[in-house]
Amino acid sequence: MRKRIGLELILAVCVALTIFLIGSFLLVRNNLNKITEFNLRYYLEIVKTDYDSGLTADDIIDKYVDIEEYLRITFMDSSGEVIADSSATDLENHLTRPEFMVPGETNIRESATLNKRMMYLAYQFSDTNYVRVSVPLNSVLPFLNDFIALSILIAMVIALGVIFLSKPLIDKTLAPFKDLRVVLNDVYQGKYRELLPVSKYEEINGILIEINDLNQMISNNIATLNKEKQKIDFLLEHMNQGLCVLDGNENIILVNEYLKSLFKYKTDNHLFQNYSYLLRDTDLQQAVAKVYKTKGSYTTVIEIDQAYFSVIASYVEKDWTDQSAVVLIFTDVTVLKNIEILKRDFFVNASHELKSPLTAIMGSADLIASGLVKDKEEIVDLSRRILEESNRMNQLVLDMLNLSKYENYIPLKANINVNLQDIVHEVIDKASQLAKAKNITIYDESVPVLFNANQEHLEQLLRNLVENSIQYGNDSGYVKIKVFEDDEKVHVEVEDNGIGIPNSEQSRVFERFYRVDKARSKKSGGTGLGLSIVKHIVMIYQGKIEVESSEGKGTRMRIVFPKSQS
Q: Report pLDDT for 147.
A: 67
Distance of CA 312 to the CA centre of its chain: 26
Neighbours of 557 (CB within 10 A): 23
Answer whether 144's CB lies under 8 Å from 28's CB: yes
The DSSP letter of residue 251 is B
Q: Residue 440 in 3-state DSSP?
A: coil
DSSP 548: E
Average confidence score pLDDT of the chain: 80
pLDDT above 70 covers a percentage of the chain that reads: 80
Which residues have a Cβ under 8 Å from the Cβ of 548 and sit 6 or more positions away? 555, 556, 558
> What is the C-alpha R_g of the chain?
61
Q: Which pTM does this prediction carry?
A: 0.43
The conformational region for residue 528 under phi > 0 = left, psi -120 to 50 = alpha, else beta, is left
The per-residue pLDDT for range 504-529, each reduced to its tens digit, is: 777 777 776 666 554 444 444 556 67
Please list, residue by residue across 335-358, b when 16 or more beta carbons sit within 10 angstroms of its beta carbon and e when fewer do.
eebeeeeeeeebeebbeebeeebe
| Integer angstrom CA distances of residue 7 from 1, 138, 153, 170, 475 | 10, 39, 21, 11, 111
DSSP assignment string, 65-79: GGGTTT-EEEEE-TT
Counts for the chain of helices (H) and strands (E), in that order: 14, 17
* Phi, psi of 122, rounded to the nearest 5 degrees: -120, 160
pLDDT > 90 fraction of the chain, expressed in percent and rounded: 13
pLDDT of residue 315: 93
Residues near 495 by beta carbon (within 8 Å), at least 6 away in sequence: 469, 479, 480, 482, 554, 555, 556, 557
* All domains in the chain, ordered by first residue: 2-144 (3.30.450.20), 239-332 (3.30.450.20), 338-407 (1.10.287.130), 416-562 (3.30.565.10)
- How many angstroms separate the CA atoms of 85 and 512, rounded? 148
Residue 22 in this model has a pLDDT that exceeds 60: yes
pLDDT by residue (tens digit) across 121-174? 999 998 889 999 998 876 555 666 676 777 778 777 777 777 777 777 766 666
Average pLDDT over residues 213-233: 76
Per-residue model confidence (pLDDT) at position 178: 66
Give the pLDDT of residue 326. 93
68-77, 242-251, 398-407, 487-496: lowest mean pLDDT where? 398-407
pLDDT tens-digit series, residues 37-46: 888 888 889 9
- Looking at residue 291, its pLDDT comes to 92
Per-residue model confidence (pLDDT) at position 519: 46
Q: How far apart are CA 554 and CA 64, in angstroms?
A: 157
Q: What DSSP string describes 300-365?
A: EEEEETTEEEEEEEEEES--TTSS-EEEEEEEE-HHHHHHHHHHHHHHHHHHHHHHHHHHHHHHHH
Q: In this predicted model, what pLDDT tens digit does every residue of 274-304 receive, in sequence order?
A: 888 888 888 888 999 999 999 999 999 988 8
Compute CA distances 448 → 279, 423, 425, 491, whole Å. 58, 10, 11, 12
Best CA proximity match to 459, nearest among 534, 515, 555, 524: 534
pLDDT at 350 over 70: no
